[in-house]
């Protein structure tokens, strides 16, 4: 008997059994599948799926998140493909739908991430593990809000250099910044704007993310000149942007910031 599942883009997929051959196209969701307790069920991942590290040697790599090797996916004969609206391209996803059911996430908030985790737990028969992980994350973030500073500090979060690209509203990173008590100086903009005029921006903090552009210590001096009154910090992009079980480590990190 087939069962209906609705993904976060409101598309319905039909499954007649618990998936046994899963391909994951998003690093943070791949890590989450592992933490759910799935092992042999995951047969394919992308070259950017770095956690768990052992899977890079034991699973088939099906290309990058935005250039999926369709033939490799087809050869694996999956019964479920898991993707994400922002990470994967529409063209790839449309082709993959002819191979197997494709379940898509669409996440801009912590709540959306928690929903994704619950839905994938149900989809893969790992509801108990999903409940345990999400309940722990909810508890941690509830404690974080209690510790918020009385006066919010402003932040500029950068994800790319040359051109300079920042993080604005309607993004998962912005939601975590807000929950940590920061005010985003780009809150008047949408998504990931390219920045040119910086004269009117005076953030308390400038966060240089480790991904997708790998900001390093050598970049701090450059931005200190651009923002002489700001505190320039390198930050772990995974703990700000991975909307899966890596969130279990995010709250302790945000407290330290």
Sequence spans of domains, the chain: 3-140, 153-256
Q: Where are the alpha helices (H) located in 1-102, listed in sequence order?
A: 27-36, 55-58, 70-75, 90-96
Taking the CA atoms of the chain, what radius of gyration do you get in angstroms? 19
Beta strands in 196-236 (DSSP E): 205-209, 231-235
Report residue 151's pLDDT band, with 50, 70 and 90 as the boundaries. low
Buried b (16+ CB within 10 A) or exposed e, 239-249: bbbbbbbbbee
pLDDT digits (tens, 9 = 90+) for 67-79: 999 999 999 999 9
Tokens (6 digits) for 239:
């703990």
Establish whether domains 3-140 and 153-256 are of one fold: yes
Cis peptide before 206, with omega less than 30 degrees from 0? no
What's the pTM value of the predicted model, to 2 decimals?
0.92
Superfamily of domain 3-140: Nitrogenase molybdenum iron protein domain (3.40.50.1980)
Domain over 153-256 is classified CATH 3.50.50.60: no
| 3-class SS of residue 68 | strand
Residues 6+ apart with CB under 8 A from 67: 89, 92
The answer to whether 155 and 185 are in contact (CB under 8 A) is yes
Which residue, among 52, 55, 56, has the nearest Cα to 35 in the 3D structure?
52
The answer to whether 245 and 52 are in contact (CB under 8 A) is no
- Determine which helix (DSSP H) or strand (DSSP E) holds 222, and give its type and residue range: helix 220-226
Determine the average pLDDT of the residues in 148-169.
88
The alpha carbon torsion through 32, 33, 38, 40 (nearest 10 deg) reads: -130
Report residue 82's pLDDT band, with 50, 70 and 90 as the boundaries. very high
pLDDT digits (tens, 9 = 90+) for 179-228: 999 999 999 999 999 998 887 888 999 999 999 999 999 999 999 999 99
Sign of the Cα torsion 10, 105, 88, 94 reads negative
Determine the average pLDDT of the residues in 113-128.
97
- Determine which helix (DSSP H) or strand (DSSP E) holds 104, and give its type and residue range: strand 102-105
């Amino acid at each position: 008997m087939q069962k209906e599942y609705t993904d976060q883009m409101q598309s319905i997929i039909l499954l007649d059994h618990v998936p046994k051959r899963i391909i994951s196209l998003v690093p943070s969701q791949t890590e989450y599948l592992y933490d759910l307790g799935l092992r042999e069920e995951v047969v394919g991942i992308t070259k950017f799926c770095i956690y768990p590290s052992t899977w890079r040697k034991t699973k088939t790599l099906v290309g990058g998140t935005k250039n999926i090797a369709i033939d490799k996916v087809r050869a694996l004969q999956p019964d479920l493909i898991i993707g994400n609206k922002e990470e994967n391209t529409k063209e790839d996803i449309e082709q993959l739908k002819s191979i197997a059911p494709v379940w898509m996430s669409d996440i801009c908030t912590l709540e959306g991430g928690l929903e994704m985790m619950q839905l994938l737990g149900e989809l893969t028969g790992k509801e108990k593990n999903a409940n345990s992980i999400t309940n722990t994350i909810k508890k941690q973030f509830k404690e974080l809000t209690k510790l918020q500073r009385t006066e919010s500090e402003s932040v500029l979060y950068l994800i790319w250099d040359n051109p300079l690209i920042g993080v604005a509203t309607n993004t998962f990173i912005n939601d975590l910044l807000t929950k940590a008590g920061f005010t985003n100086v780009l809150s008047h903009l949408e998504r990931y704007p390219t920045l040119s005029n910086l004269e009117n921006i005076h953030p308390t903090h400038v966060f240089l993310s480790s991904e997708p552009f790998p900001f390093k210590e050598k970049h701090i001096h450059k931005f200190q000149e651009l923002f002489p009154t700001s505190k320039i910090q390198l930050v772990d992009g995974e703990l700000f942007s991975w909307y899966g079980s890596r969130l279990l480590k995010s709250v302790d990190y945000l407290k330290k910031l």
